[in-house]
């Protein structure tokens, strides 16, 4: 193979990170055809395609993802070297954390606590739906995703899912219903409920529990978003099914009361990263500091 041209590699890196040839060409003040030619020369040198052309979109090949991992390492190190030479110390890049938009904000707050109390790094929180987070991570625009859904590694993308914590699914009552027993009996049959949405695995766990206890709940509202479920639990006067961490502050103030946990029903919290050569220098430390097992 001919000697690698790092000028061509740089253009590939910019396009792969941006995911759009036209936008990258504009940022680099190049014509689209000129930028495309630079990448074609890199592919010719390597002897294999780095992108698949799907309509107007560019999708990284398996080799393209590998080359991108090395390019990330090369140019990140280069930026650190430039900072070291100009300022005497390398600058740690911003840590980009993707957050599933429907997740509990209290869990996210617990995760980032080490960043606010010791880890010397600037960070960004980007809340998006799951599919958008996966795209951003696959294009190396995020360092880690926080989600309650485990992602299995596939042929296209090498996800790594690390279980950070698990939270029992609980029955939460307004203070006026604090007299209800800490186990299901006939008094629960006449109550109104707010519950997770039908697509949520938490809803499936609750429905299985109801079947076991022959409970026919009067469901008055449901929500996929944990922030909205928190508001419903606080303001509706109904019983609610959710992880207790979602309403942590309301439980501490006495506005809401936890009656009991559903047996063997948990919401799992994952940190998802990509399998790649270069990781953010603070990420491993953060993941280790943020593991807190089963939340109570």
How do the domains of the chain map onto residue ranges? 6-87, 95-160+269-295, 166-268
Tokens 């910019």 belong to which residue?
A: 14
User: In angstroms, rounded to a whole number, what is the distance separating the alpha carbons of residues 234 and 172?
Assistant: 10
The partner residues of 258 in beta bridges, in order of sequence, read: 172
Q: How confident is the model at residue 296 (pLDDT cuts 50, 70, 90)?
A: very low
User: In angstroms, rounded to a whole number, what is the distance separating the alpha carbons of residues 112 and 145?
Assistant: 12
Q: Is 143 strand, coil or helix?
A: coil
Mean pLDDT calculated for residue range 75-80 = 74
Nearest residue to 126 (alpha-carbon basis) of 97, 93, 94, 106: 97
Neighbour tally for 129: CB within 10 Å: 10
Please state which of the four CATH numbers 1.20.1430.10, 3.40.50.970, 3.40.50.170, 3.40.190.290 is assigned to the domain occupying 166-268: 3.40.190.290
Neighbour tally for 58: CB within 10 Å: 20
* β-strand pairing of 95-100 with 123-128: parallel
Give the model's pLDDT for residue 148.
86
Question: Are 274 and 156 contacting, i.e. CB atoms less than 8 angstroms apart?
Answer: no
User: In angstroms, rounded to a whole number, what is the distance separating the alpha carbons of residues 210 and 115?
Assistant: 41
Q: Highest mean pLDDT range out of 95-109, 149-163, 252-266, 277-291?
A: 252-266
Mean pLDDT calculated for residue range 2-12 = 85
pTM, 2 dp? 0.65
Q: Do the domains at 95-160+269-295 and 166-268 have one common CATH topology? A: yes
Q: How confident is the model at residue 260 (pLDDT cuts 50, 70, 90)?
A: very high
Residue range 95-160+269-295 in CATH 3.30.420.40: no
Q: How confident is the model at residue 195 (pLDDT cuts 50, 70, 90)?
A: very high
Mean pLDDT calculated for residue range 183-205 = 90
Question: Are 196 and 221 contacting, i.e. CB atoms less than 8 angstroms apart?
Answer: no
User: Span 6-87: which CATH code?
Assistant: 1.10.10.10
User: In angstroms, rounded to a whole number, what is the distance separating the alpha carbons of residues 13 and 5?
Assistant: 12
């Amino acid at each position: 193979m001919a000697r690698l041209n790092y000028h061509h590699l740089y253009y590939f890196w910019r396009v792969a990170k941006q995911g759009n040839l036209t936008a990258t060409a504009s940022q680099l003040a190049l014509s689209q055809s000129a930028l495309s030619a630079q990448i074609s020369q890199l592919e010719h040198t390597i002897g294999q395609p780095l992108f698949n052309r799907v309509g107007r979109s560019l999708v990284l090949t398996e080799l393209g993802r590998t080359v991108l991992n090395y390019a990330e390492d090369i140019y990140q190190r280069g930026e650190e070297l430039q900072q070291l030479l100009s300022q005497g110390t390398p600058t740690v890049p911003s840590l980009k954390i993707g957050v599933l938009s429907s997740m509990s904000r209290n869990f996210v707050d617990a995760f980032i606590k080490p960043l606010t109390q010791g880890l010397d790094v600037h960070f960004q929180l980007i809340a998006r739906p799951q599919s958008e987070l996966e795209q951003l991570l696959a294009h190396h625009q995020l360092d880690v995703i926080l989600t309650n859904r485990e992602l299995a590694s596939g042929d296209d993308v090498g996800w790594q899912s690390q279980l950070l914590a698990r939270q029992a699914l609980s029955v939460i009552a307004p203070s006026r219903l604090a007299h209800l027993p800490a186990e299901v009996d006939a008094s629960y049959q006449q109550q109104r409920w707010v519950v997770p949405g039908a697509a949520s695995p938490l809803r499936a766990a609750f429905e299985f529990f109801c079947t076991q206890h022959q409970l026919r709940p009067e469901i008055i509202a449901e929500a996929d978003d944990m922030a909205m479920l928190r508001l419903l639990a606080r303001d509706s006067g109904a019983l609610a099914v959710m992880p207790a961490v979602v309403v942590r502050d309301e439980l501490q103030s006495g506005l809401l009361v936890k009656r009991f946990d559903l047996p063997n029903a948990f919401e799992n919290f994952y940190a998802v990263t990509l399998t790649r050569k270069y990781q953010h220098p603070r990420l491993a430390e953060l993941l280790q500091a943020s593991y807190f097992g089963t939340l109570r």
